[in-house]
Amino acid sequence: MDLLDNLALGLETAFQLENVLYCLLGVVLGTAVGVLPGIGPTATIAMLLPITFSLEPVPALIMLAGIYYGAQYGGSTTAILINLPGESSAAVTAIDGHEMARQGRAGPALAAAALGSFFAGTVATVVLAVFAPPLARAALQFGSAEYFSLVVLGLIASIALARGSTLKALAMITLGVLLGTVGQDIYTGTPRFTMGARELFGGLDFVSVAVGVFGVAEILRNLENEKTRTALVRRVSGLWPSREDLRRIVGPVLRGTGLGSLLGVLPGGGHVLAAFASYSVEKRISKTPERFGRGAIEGVAAPESANNAAAQTSFIPLLTLGLPAHPVMALMIGAFIVQGITPGPNVIDEQPALFWGLIASMWIGNLLLVMLNLPLIGLWVRMLAIPYQWLFPAIVVFAAIGTFSLDFNAFDVYAVAVFGVLGYVLIKCGCEPAPLLLGFVLGPLLEEHLRRALIISRGDPSVFVTRPISAVLLALALGALVVAVLPAIRRKREEVFVEDD
């Protein structure tokens, strides 16, 4: 009965007119920006994050969640129509989705993606509602030693699941943690790495780092790539799939939903792994595997279902443990903190309307996506025709205005420019910015629990291995690091992610 009572509270919160409107605004904004090639959900949320900080916590976080899955839907649209995935997990969708578009079947491909995403999102939200509370209750038993080990596990696991060089991913984590130490010492108040700048005494601004490293850097990268600026989009017609199409997608949608719900909680790239794994499963069990890569609708429905299910269940470690499963969740943690809320197991007891309202809003958001995006597909297609030399400067200007409006501090805008250049340089050097953001968000938490555990144990470092839960978490972190550096595993991981390069 507790679950039903909590869901009733969530639905009552989510169905408040203000929250429904902000959910609607979130999914529309997310889709509108996510449909632009090369930007994706992370950059979308990073650039739109400032506009939510003047809101109350519940509508702000509901809107951000709507932006997230709205941007993911937009990413699949570009993958199908012009073979340019808006997000890494949509790379698999492009394989058969764009082939269907070339055959004049873009409508059924888009419908399969929308229906699969809606079903998967609905089911995964139920999984979130069922499993988040007991996990949160278990997390309440954690002390500082356990939290330190948990953060270490999250950071190491994100390296193990990242694509590309393990050494570069580790370097990005380290750089992020170091950037997180800028400002006054959490216990003594001594300024650290501020270089005498009073604006840095409070630490680097999270929004400036996120908008710069993801938003501005991604725009700079896309502007130099001529291919992303040329798109030929055919007229989309006949949206509703045939009865044969519907019959073909039922099994892939169910399997993709289950796989995505399971893999979404993994740190790093669970949603990406879910999309690739679901596509591989469907191709392997198909009686006609030769159809895949040539316009098989199953190759669209399965990864889109897995991707959307993983998007919902990635909120489980965020809401229960305060740990981000991937960069978008790191941005969500920043939003929680700016709103004065500490993400973690206490949220469910201290902010029940927020916790359950956010979960219930995901049902509303997914329904709005289906109701709005299929009829509005013509609008999204026309957006693809906007010249980038007009579009991207406007996005940068709005991002700068949003960042400045938070504290009316020009230093934050300069920081956006600096981190934009830094992010672009890192991309050119083959480094992923995502681990940097995870390290930046989790670094202060790592330091706080490390120092608190040592204070409680009177400086005895063995506290991290003598407490059973902490020892198990550190052992898992060590295992993840071993997996990450094994050459055979590393080569396999790079092969899996080669579609995203």
Task: Give residue 453's pLDDT.
Answer: 92
Predicted confidence (pLDDT) per residue in 74-89, tens digit: 777 777 876 666 566 6
**Tens digits of per-residue pLDDT, 280-296?**
788 888 888 888 888 88
At 475 the pLDDT is 92
* 112-160 pLDDT tens trace: 888 888 888 888 888 888 888 887 777 777 888 988 988 888 788 777 6
Q: Can you give the pTM of this predicted structure?
A: 0.72
Q: Of 39-43, 233-237, 360-364, which range is least confident? A: 233-237
- Tell me the pLDDT of the chain averaged across its residues: 80
Phi and psi for 432 in degrees, rounded to 5? -80, 130
Buried b or exposed e, range 177-207, using 16+ CB within 10 angstroms: bebbbbbeeeeeeebeebeeeebbeebbbbb
Task: Please check the confidence at residue 21 and state whether its pLDDT lies above 90.
Answer: yes
Question: How many domains does the chain fold into?
Answer: 1
Q: Are 366 and 69 in contact (CB under 8 A)?
A: yes
pLDDT confidence of residue 230: 41
pLDDT in tens, 45-80: 777 777 777 888 889 889 988 888 787 777 777 778
Domain holding 173, by residue range, is 3-497
Q: Which residue has the higher pLDDT, 152 or 276?
A: 152
What confidence category does residue 178 fall into, taking pLDDT thresholds of 50, 70 and 90?
very high
Which stretch of 90-104, 260-274, 358-372 has the lowest confidence by average pLDDT? Answer: 260-274
**In Å, what is the CA distance from 41 to each residue of 53, 70, 430?**
18, 8, 20
- Beta-bridged to residue 183, according to DSSP, are 192
383 Cβ neighbours under 8 A, 6+ residues apart: 32, 35, 36
- d(CA 3, CA 299) in angstroms, rounded, equals 35
